[in-house]
Structures are given as structure tokens and as C-alpha cells.
Amino acid sequence: MILGNLRIANHEFDAAKDCFLNVLEMDPSHELAGKMLDALDSKLLGHEDDDFESHLREARVRVRRGQIDGANSLLVNLLDNYPDNAAAHNELGNLYCLVQNLEGALIHLSRAVELDPHKIRFLRDLADTYLAEMGNVEEALKLYNRASPWNRIASTRF
């Protein structure tokens, strides 16, 4: 928090935002960090920041803080600028699961797996959606097997 305030005093607003995001990643309910982030968002309105990871982190923090609409807007904007980014598709798919938009969830989670078919987290997130949300055990098992480290070792050895 102190470092974030120092960054603001030095007019390093992007760096300050990053500091407050760090606080909110550790404690999403930290009220003052949330207010500082919101204040910086209004100050930086219209400021183009090409730091993809920072925007992705902010979307995750907003989901944890219950700011679903804000997180959705961030992720949609990220995908407008980076349409083939698997991580953004995966985050948006998980957000859609959270709000019970299963069609949207499957579209984005499947796209993440299509873009990065070896990323275990993406495979598992899609498998979890098929299992928990859709009740499709067969499809979930296929994906879980693809994500299994044992299957990866066996396929590389033979």
C-alpha cells in the first residue's frame, strides 16, 4: 500500500495500479486497495496501457471482489485486442461458468484449449465444466486423461 501511494506521488500511475493489484491478489476484500484501484481506473480512463498481464490480473481481482461486469468488460476488451490469447479465453470461460452462461463458457474454454492444447490448466478447466456444469462424464474423462502428467510421460517415451 505504501509503495502504491509513493508511486502515485511520483505520477507513476501504472506502477501504482500494479501495487494495489498485488495487495488485492493477496486479500481481495482489502477495502482501501480496492478504492485506490477504482480511483486509478477513473484517473487512467482513456490511457492506453498495453500490459496484457496487468489487465488479466485486474480481471481476476475484479472477479474475486465480485465485480463481475467490470471483469467481463476487461476480458472482452482484451480479446478484442488479442483474439488468439488462450489465457484470456480461459479466464472469460471461467467467468461465464461463474455466471452460469454455459454456452459462452464452453466456447471460450474450448478456444483456450484449441490455442494451447498442452496447457494442463486449460484442459482441466474445460474438463471441470463438462463434468460439473454439463454432466458429460465421457467428455470430461477424455480431457482429464489428456491433462494427466502420466499420459504425457508415456507418450513422450514411446
Q: Using one digit for the tens of pLDDT, what is the confidence trace for 98-139? A: 999 999 999 999 999 999 998 999 999 999 999 988 788 998
d(CA 46, CA 93): 26
d(CA 65, CA 54): 16
pLDDT (tens digit, 9 = 90+) per residue, 70-97?
A: 999 999 999 998 999 999 999 999 999 9
The answer for 66, left when phi > 0, alpha when psi is -120 to 50, beta otherwise, is left
In 68-79, which positions are buried (b, 16+ CB within 10 angstroms) versus exposed (e)?
Answer: eebbbebbeebb
Long-range contact list for 34-37, CB < 8 A, 24+ apart?
A: 34/65, 36/1, 36/4, 36/5, 36/8, 37/61
- pLDDT of the residue at 43: 60
Compute the average pLDDT of residues 2-6: 89
Grid cell listed for 72? 467481463
Does the 101-158 domain belong in CATH 1.10.3470? no
- pLDDT of the residue at 151: 58
d(CA 92, CA 104): 8
Check: CB of residue 91 under 8 Å from CB of residue 97: no
pLDDT (tens digit, 9 = 90+) per residue, 29-61?
A: 888 888 888 777 766 544 444 578 888 988 999
Compute the average pLDDT of residues 1-26: 88
pLDDT (tens digit, 9 = 90+) per residue, 65-76?
A: 899 999 999 999
Burial of 150 (0-12, 13-18, 19+ CB in 10 A): exposed
